[in-house]
A = this chain, B = another copy of it.
Amino acid sequence: MSRFLLCIGTVLSIITVQAQQEDSAMIRRIADEILINSKAYDNLRHLTKQVGPRLAGSAGMVKAEKWGLKLMEESGADKAWLQQCMVPHWVRGGTDEAGIMSFRSTANGVGKTKLEKKLDVVALGNSMGTGAKGIVDDVVLVNSFDELEEKKDQVRGKIVFYNYKFNPTYVNVFYAYRDAGQYRGQGPSRAAKYGAIGVIVRSMSISTDNHPHTGATRYDSAYAQIPAVAIGLRDADLLAEKLSKGKVSVYMRTYGKFLPDTIGHNVIGELIGSEFPNEIITVGGHLDSWDNCEGAHDDGAGCVQTIELLRAFKATNYKPKRTIRFVLFANEENGLRGGTKYA
Protein backbone atom coordinates (compact mmCIF):
# COMPACT_ATOMS: atom_id res chain seq x y z
CA MET A 1 0.00 0.00 0.00
CA SER A 2 2.84 2.39 0.81
CA ARG A 3 4.12 1.94 -2.78
CA PHE A 4 0.69 2.87 -3.99
CA LEU A 5 0.71 6.04 -1.87
CA LEU A 6 4.13 6.87 -3.24
CA CYS A 7 2.66 6.57 -6.71
CA ILE A 8 -0.11 8.99 -5.81
CA GLY A 9 2.47 11.34 -4.43
CA THR A 10 4.39 11.21 -7.69
CA VAL A 11 1.31 11.85 -9.80
CA LEU A 12 0.29 14.76 -7.62
CA SER A 13 3.74 16.27 -7.64
CA ILE A 14 3.57 16.39 -11.42
CA ILE A 15 0.11 17.78 -11.72
CA THR A 16 0.00 20.50 -9.12
CA VAL A 17 1.66 23.86 -8.91
CA GLN A 18 0.10 24.69 -5.57
CA ALA A 19 2.16 25.57 -2.56
CA GLN A 20 3.91 22.59 -1.03
CA GLN A 21 1.85 22.71 2.13
CA GLU A 22 -1.45 22.56 0.26
CA ASP A 23 -0.11 19.62 -1.76
CA SER A 24 0.88 17.87 1.38
CA ALA A 25 -2.59 18.33 2.93
CA MET A 26 -4.24 17.11 -0.27
CA ILE A 27 -1.99 14.05 -0.47
CA ARG A 28 -2.81 13.27 3.15
CA ARG A 29 -6.55 13.60 2.43
CA ILE A 30 -6.30 11.28 -0.56
CA ALA A 31 -4.17 8.80 1.37
CA ASP A 32 -6.67 8.78 4.25
CA GLU A 33 -9.55 8.30 1.81
CA ILE A 34 -7.81 5.23 0.42
CA LEU A 35 -6.78 3.86 3.80
CA ILE A 36 -10.29 4.24 5.18
CA ASN A 37 -12.62 3.67 2.23
CA SER A 38 -10.59 1.74 -0.33
CA LYS A 39 -12.61 -0.41 -2.70
CA ALA A 40 -9.48 -1.85 -4.28
CA TYR A 41 -9.64 -5.22 -2.52
CA ASP A 42 -13.37 -5.64 -3.17
CA ASN A 43 -12.83 -4.75 -6.81
CA LEU A 44 -9.91 -7.16 -7.07
CA ARG A 45 -12.00 -9.91 -5.54
CA HIS A 46 -14.74 -9.28 -8.09
CA LEU A 47 -12.30 -9.14 -11.00
CA THR A 48 -10.52 -12.35 -10.05
CA LYS A 49 -13.44 -14.39 -8.73
CA GLN A 50 -16.45 -13.16 -10.74
CA VAL A 51 -14.80 -12.07 -13.99
CA GLY A 52 -11.92 -14.54 -13.81
CA PRO A 53 -9.52 -15.35 -16.69
CA ARG A 54 -9.63 -12.71 -19.44
CA LEU A 55 -7.23 -13.51 -22.24
CA ALA A 56 -7.48 -11.33 -25.36
CA GLY A 57 -10.28 -12.54 -27.60
CA SER A 58 -12.01 -14.62 -24.91
CA ALA A 59 -15.50 -14.20 -23.48
CA GLY A 60 -13.73 -13.26 -20.22
CA MET A 61 -12.15 -10.29 -22.01
CA VAL A 62 -15.59 -8.94 -22.98
CA LYS A 63 -16.86 -9.44 -19.43
CA ALA A 64 -13.80 -7.67 -17.99
CA GLU A 65 -14.21 -4.70 -20.33
CA LYS A 66 -17.85 -4.25 -19.26
CA TRP A 67 -16.81 -4.51 -15.61
CA GLY A 68 -14.07 -1.93 -16.10
CA LEU A 69 -16.28 0.55 -17.94
CA LYS A 70 -19.03 0.34 -15.34
CA LEU A 71 -16.53 0.78 -12.52
CA MET A 72 -14.94 3.82 -14.19
CA GLU A 73 -18.40 5.40 -14.40
CA GLU A 74 -19.33 4.49 -10.82
CA SER A 75 -15.99 5.77 -9.54
CA GLY A 76 -16.74 9.22 -10.88
CA ALA A 77 -15.00 9.56 -14.26
CA ASP A 78 -16.08 12.73 -16.13
CA LYS A 79 -16.04 10.56 -19.23
CA ALA A 80 -15.55 6.83 -19.68
CA TRP A 81 -15.35 4.88 -22.91
CA LEU A 82 -13.99 1.87 -24.72
CA GLN A 83 -11.24 2.42 -27.25
CA GLN A 84 -11.42 -0.27 -29.88
CA CYS A 85 -8.32 -2.16 -30.99
CA MET A 86 -7.81 -5.43 -32.81
CA VAL A 87 -6.33 -8.10 -30.57
CA PRO A 88 -4.72 -11.47 -31.31
CA HIS A 89 -6.93 -14.43 -30.55
CA TRP A 90 -4.82 -17.31 -29.39
CA VAL A 91 -6.66 -20.25 -27.86
CA ARG A 92 -5.23 -23.14 -25.86
CA GLY A 93 -7.72 -25.43 -27.55
CA GLY A 94 -7.65 -28.26 -25.04
CA THR A 95 -5.84 -29.67 -22.03
CA ASP A 96 -2.09 -29.73 -22.49
CA GLU A 97 -0.45 -33.06 -21.73
CA ALA A 98 3.00 -34.57 -21.57
CA GLY A 99 4.58 -37.66 -20.09
CA ILE A 100 7.70 -39.76 -19.88
CA MET A 101 7.44 -42.95 -21.98
CA SER A 102 9.11 -46.21 -21.20
CA PHE A 103 9.92 -48.91 -23.75
CA ARG A 104 9.51 -52.60 -23.30
CA SER A 105 9.90 -55.53 -25.62
CA THR A 106 6.85 -57.55 -26.53
CA ALA A 107 6.78 -61.36 -26.95
CA ASN A 108 7.62 -61.12 -30.66
CA GLY A 109 10.56 -58.81 -29.95
CA VAL A 110 8.96 -55.58 -31.18
CA GLY A 111 9.37 -52.51 -28.92
CA LYS A 112 6.26 -50.99 -27.39
CA THR A 113 5.95 -47.72 -25.51
CA LYS A 114 3.99 -47.11 -22.37
CA LEU A 115 3.29 -43.99 -20.34
CA GLU A 116 5.58 -44.16 -17.34
CA LYS A 117 4.92 -40.81 -15.65
CA LYS A 118 2.63 -37.91 -16.46
CA LEU A 119 4.33 -34.52 -16.41
CA ASP A 120 2.72 -31.31 -15.21
CA VAL A 121 2.91 -29.01 -18.22
CA VAL A 122 1.09 -26.11 -19.83
CA ALA A 123 1.52 -24.90 -23.40
CA LEU A 124 3.29 -21.57 -23.75
CA GLY A 125 1.00 -18.75 -24.81
CA ASN A 126 1.01 -18.17 -28.58
CA SER A 127 2.48 -21.63 -29.17
CA MET A 128 1.17 -24.00 -31.83
CA GLY A 129 -0.33 -27.34 -30.87
CA THR A 130 1.17 -30.72 -31.63
CA GLY A 131 -1.98 -31.86 -33.39
CA ALA A 132 -4.37 -34.36 -31.85
CA LYS A 133 -1.95 -37.27 -32.23
CA GLY A 134 0.77 -35.51 -30.26
CA ILE A 135 4.47 -36.05 -30.66
CA VAL A 136 6.79 -38.58 -29.01
CA ASP A 137 10.55 -38.35 -29.14
CA ASP A 138 13.81 -38.34 -27.28
CA VAL A 139 14.66 -35.35 -25.17
CA VAL A 140 17.86 -33.31 -25.33
CA LEU A 141 18.50 -31.29 -22.18
CA VAL A 142 20.32 -27.99 -22.43
CA ASN A 143 20.99 -25.67 -19.51
CA SER A 144 21.51 -22.57 -21.62
CA PHE A 145 21.52 -21.21 -25.16
CA ASP A 146 25.31 -21.70 -25.18
CA GLU A 147 24.76 -25.38 -24.49
CA LEU A 148 22.19 -25.51 -27.28
CA GLU A 149 24.86 -24.23 -29.68
CA GLU A 150 27.21 -26.97 -28.48
CA LYS A 151 24.56 -29.64 -28.99
CA LYS A 152 23.01 -28.22 -32.14
CA ASP A 153 23.85 -31.35 -34.16
CA GLN A 154 22.03 -33.58 -31.68
CA VAL A 155 18.62 -31.91 -31.60
CA ARG A 156 17.24 -32.60 -35.10
CA GLY A 157 13.96 -34.48 -34.77
CA LYS A 158 14.17 -34.28 -30.98
CA ILE A 159 12.47 -32.41 -28.15
CA VAL A 160 14.67 -29.74 -26.55
CA PHE A 161 14.34 -29.30 -22.81
CA TYR A 162 15.59 -25.91 -21.58
CA ASN A 163 16.40 -26.47 -17.93
CA TYR A 164 17.62 -22.92 -17.30
CA LYS A 165 17.01 -22.13 -13.66
CA PHE A 166 15.42 -18.96 -12.42
CA ASN A 167 18.26 -17.20 -10.59
CA PRO A 168 17.29 -16.54 -6.96
CA THR A 169 20.27 -14.26 -6.29
CA TYR A 170 18.63 -11.35 -8.05
CA VAL A 171 17.23 -9.38 -5.14
CA ASN A 172 14.94 -7.64 -7.64
CA VAL A 173 12.91 -10.62 -8.79
CA PHE A 174 11.91 -9.01 -12.06
CA TYR A 175 15.50 -9.18 -13.31
CA ALA A 176 15.50 -12.92 -12.66
CA TYR A 177 12.21 -13.20 -14.51
CA ARG A 178 13.53 -11.33 -17.53
CA ASP A 179 16.74 -13.36 -17.42
CA ALA A 180 14.97 -16.75 -17.48
CA GLY A 181 12.21 -15.39 -19.72
CA GLN A 182 14.51 -15.47 -22.74
CA TYR A 183 14.16 -19.25 -22.85
CA ARG A 184 10.40 -18.99 -23.02
CA GLY A 185 10.40 -16.19 -25.58
CA GLN A 186 13.18 -17.32 -27.92
CA GLY A 187 13.66 -20.96 -26.94
CA PRO A 188 11.23 -22.60 -29.40
CA SER A 189 12.53 -20.81 -32.50
CA ARG A 190 16.19 -21.25 -31.53
CA ALA A 191 15.59 -24.99 -31.15
CA ALA A 192 13.53 -25.16 -34.36
CA LYS A 193 16.47 -23.57 -36.19
CA TYR A 194 18.39 -26.81 -35.57
CA GLY A 195 15.47 -29.06 -36.46
CA ALA A 196 13.91 -29.74 -33.03
CA ILE A 197 10.26 -30.78 -33.18
CA GLY A 198 9.17 -29.61 -29.72
CA VAL A 199 10.33 -27.66 -26.70
CA ILE A 200 9.95 -28.00 -22.93
CA VAL A 201 10.89 -24.98 -20.82
CA ARG A 202 11.54 -25.07 -17.07
CA SER A 203 8.97 -22.79 -15.39
CA MET A 204 10.15 -19.29 -14.48
CA SER A 205 9.81 -19.58 -10.75
CA ILE A 206 11.49 -20.57 -7.51
CA SER A 207 8.33 -21.84 -5.86
CA THR A 208 8.64 -25.40 -4.72
CA ASP A 209 5.34 -26.69 -6.09
CA ASN A 210 4.91 -28.43 -9.41
CA HIS A 211 2.52 -25.96 -10.99
CA PRO A 212 3.74 -24.98 -14.48
CA HIS A 213 3.83 -21.27 -15.28
CA THR A 214 2.69 -20.14 -18.73
CA GLY A 215 3.57 -16.93 -20.57
CA ALA A 216 4.11 -15.91 -24.18
CA THR A 217 6.57 -17.29 -26.66
CA ARG A 218 7.49 -15.45 -29.88
CA TYR A 219 8.16 -17.47 -33.01
CA ASP A 220 10.79 -16.22 -35.43
CA SER A 221 9.16 -16.47 -38.86
CA ALA A 222 12.34 -17.94 -40.36
CA TYR A 223 11.82 -21.25 -38.57
CA ALA A 224 9.12 -23.86 -38.00
CA GLN A 225 6.56 -23.06 -35.31
CA ILE A 226 7.13 -26.06 -33.08
CA PRO A 227 4.96 -26.84 -30.03
CA ALA A 228 6.28 -25.65 -26.68
CA VAL A 229 5.28 -26.24 -23.07
CA ALA A 230 6.39 -25.04 -19.65
CA ILE A 231 7.00 -27.76 -17.07
CA GLY A 232 6.53 -27.69 -13.29
CA LEU A 233 9.73 -27.44 -11.24
CA ARG A 234 9.54 -30.84 -9.58
CA ASP A 235 8.90 -32.54 -12.89
CA ALA A 236 11.73 -30.53 -14.44
CA ASP A 237 14.09 -31.86 -11.78
CA LEU A 238 12.78 -35.39 -12.26
CA LEU A 239 13.24 -35.19 -16.02
CA ALA A 240 16.76 -33.78 -15.62
CA GLU A 241 17.66 -36.58 -13.22
CA LYS A 242 16.38 -39.27 -15.59
CA LEU A 243 18.26 -37.67 -18.46
CA SER A 244 21.47 -37.71 -16.44
CA LYS A 245 21.15 -41.52 -16.36
CA GLY A 246 20.28 -42.18 -19.99
CA LYS A 247 17.87 -41.70 -22.86
CA VAL A 248 14.40 -40.41 -22.05
CA SER A 249 11.50 -40.27 -24.46
CA VAL A 250 8.62 -37.85 -23.87
CA TYR A 251 5.25 -37.41 -25.49
CA MET A 252 3.54 -34.03 -25.73
CA ARG A 253 0.01 -33.19 -26.83
CA THR A 254 -1.11 -29.55 -27.09
CA TYR A 255 -3.80 -27.80 -29.12
CA GLY A 256 -2.75 -24.12 -29.26
CA LYS A 257 -3.70 -22.10 -32.34
CA PHE A 258 -4.55 -18.62 -33.51
CA LEU A 259 -8.03 -17.67 -34.66
CA PRO A 260 -8.39 -14.49 -36.73
CA ASP A 261 -7.72 -11.25 -34.86
CA THR A 262 -10.77 -10.00 -33.07
CA ILE A 263 -12.08 -6.82 -31.46
CA GLY A 264 -10.88 -5.82 -28.01
CA HIS A 265 -10.82 -2.52 -26.14
CA ASN A 266 -8.80 -0.31 -23.86
CA VAL A 267 -11.10 0.82 -21.07
CA ILE A 268 -10.58 4.53 -20.41
CA GLY A 269 -11.86 6.84 -17.70
CA GLU A 270 -11.02 10.53 -17.69
CA LEU A 271 -10.88 13.41 -15.23
CA ILE A 272 -10.87 16.57 -17.34
CA GLY A 273 -8.20 19.12 -16.44
CA SER A 274 -9.41 22.49 -15.20
CA GLU A 275 -6.59 24.55 -16.76
CA PHE A 276 -4.83 22.43 -19.34
CA PRO A 277 -7.44 19.90 -20.50
CA ASN A 278 -5.42 18.96 -23.56
CA GLU A 279 -2.35 17.99 -21.56
CA ILE A 280 -2.87 14.40 -20.56
CA ILE A 281 -1.42 12.29 -17.78
CA THR A 282 -1.97 8.54 -18.09
CA VAL A 283 -2.25 6.06 -15.21
CA GLY A 284 -2.98 2.44 -15.97
CA GLY A 285 -2.72 -1.30 -15.67
CA HIS A 286 -3.49 -4.09 -18.10
CA LEU A 287 -6.82 -5.83 -18.03
CA ASP A 288 -6.02 -9.11 -19.73
CA SER A 289 -4.72 -12.23 -18.00
CA TRP A 290 -3.79 -15.68 -19.15
CA ASP A 291 -6.61 -18.15 -19.77
CA ASN A 292 -5.63 -20.51 -16.95
CA CYS A 293 -5.43 -18.11 -14.03
CA GLU A 294 -7.10 -15.20 -12.30
CA GLY A 295 -4.35 -12.66 -12.90
CA ALA A 296 -4.59 -11.10 -9.43
CA HIS A 297 -1.06 -9.68 -9.44
CA ASP A 298 -0.60 -9.61 -13.18
CA ASP A 299 -2.27 -7.24 -13.45
CA GLY A 300 -5.51 -7.20 -11.52
CA ALA A 301 -3.76 -5.20 -8.81
CA GLY A 302 -2.69 -2.58 -11.37
CA CYS A 303 -6.26 -2.28 -12.64
CA VAL A 304 -7.92 -1.84 -9.27
CA GLN A 305 -5.24 0.61 -8.11
CA THR A 306 -5.84 2.67 -11.25
CA ILE A 307 -9.55 2.80 -10.54
CA GLU A 308 -8.99 3.41 -6.83
CA LEU A 309 -6.96 6.49 -7.68
CA LEU A 310 -9.85 7.82 -9.78
CA ARG A 311 -12.32 7.02 -7.00
CA ALA A 312 -10.18 8.68 -4.32
CA PHE A 313 -9.61 11.80 -6.46
CA LYS A 314 -13.36 12.21 -6.90
CA ALA A 315 -14.20 11.34 -3.30
CA THR A 316 -11.82 14.03 -2.02
CA ASN A 317 -13.08 16.48 -4.64
CA TYR A 318 -9.63 16.80 -6.16
CA LYS A 319 -9.62 18.89 -9.36
CA PRO A 320 -6.58 18.24 -11.54
CA LYS A 321 -5.24 21.07 -13.72
CA ARG A 322 -4.31 18.60 -16.44
CA THR A 323 -6.52 15.83 -17.76
CA ILE A 324 -5.86 12.43 -16.18
CA ARG A 325 -6.69 9.27 -18.10
CA PHE A 326 -7.13 6.05 -16.16
CA VAL A 327 -6.57 3.19 -18.58
CA LEU A 328 -7.11 -0.55 -18.39
CA PHE A 329 -5.06 -1.70 -21.34
CA ALA A 330 -6.09 -4.57 -23.59
CA ASN A 331 -3.80 -7.46 -24.48
CA GLU A 332 -0.52 -7.01 -22.66
CA GLU A 333 0.06 -10.74 -22.22
CA ASN A 334 0.39 -11.83 -25.80
CA GLY A 335 0.61 -8.78 -27.99
CA LEU A 336 0.70 -5.31 -26.40
CA ARG A 337 -1.96 -4.26 -28.91
CA GLY A 338 -3.85 -2.13 -26.39
CA GLY A 339 -0.80 -0.16 -25.35
CA THR A 340 0.26 0.33 -28.94
CA LYS A 341 -3.19 1.53 -29.91
CA TYR A 342 -3.37 3.93 -26.98
CA ALA A 343 0.06 5.38 -27.75
The interface of chain A, by Cβ under 8 A from chain B, is 1-2, 5, 31-32, 35-36, 168-169, 171
The reply to whether A171 and B36 contact each other, CB–CB distance below 8 Å, is no
From B35, B168, B169, B171, contact of A171 by CB (8 A) = B35
CA distance A2 to B31 in the complex (A): 25
- Interface pairs A-B: 4 shortest CB-CB: A35-B168, A32-B169, A35-B169, A36-B168
User: Contacts of A169 on B, CB cut-off 8 Å?
Assistant: 31-32, 35-36
User: Contacts of A171 on B, CB cut-off 8 Å?
Assistant: 1-2, 5, 31, 35
Chain A binding site: helix, strand, loop or mixed by DSSP? Answer: helix
Known contacts A5-B171, A32-B169, A36-B168, then 8 further A-B pairs from the complex at CB < 8 Å, ordered by chain A residue: A1-B171, A2-B171, A31-B169, A31-B171, A35-B168, A35-B169, A35-B171, A36-B169
User: Contacts of A32 on B, CB cut-off 8 Å?
Assistant: 169
Beta-carbon nearest neighbor of A42 in chain B: B208
User: Contacts of A36 on B, CB cut-off 8 Å?
Assistant: 168-169
Beta-carbon nearest neighbor of A208 in chain B: B41
CA distance A35 to B1 in the complex (A): 25
Q: A27 to chain B: closest CB distance in Å? A: 11
CA distance A169 to B37 in the complex (A): 10
Q: A70 to chain B: closest CB distance in Å? A: 23
User: Contacts of A5 on B, CB cut-off 8 Å?
Assistant: 171
Q: A44 to chain B: closest CB distance in Å? A: 14
Q: A40 to chain B: closest CB distance in Å? A: 13
Q: A1 to chain B: closest CB distance in Å? A: 8
User: Contacts of A1 on B, CB cut-off 8 Å?
Assistant: 171
Beta-carbon nearest neighbor of A32 in chain B: B169
CA distance A2 to B169 in the complex (A): 12
Q: A77 to chain B: closest CB distance in Å? A: 25
User: Contacts of A31 on B, CB cut-off 8 Å?
Assistant: 169, 171
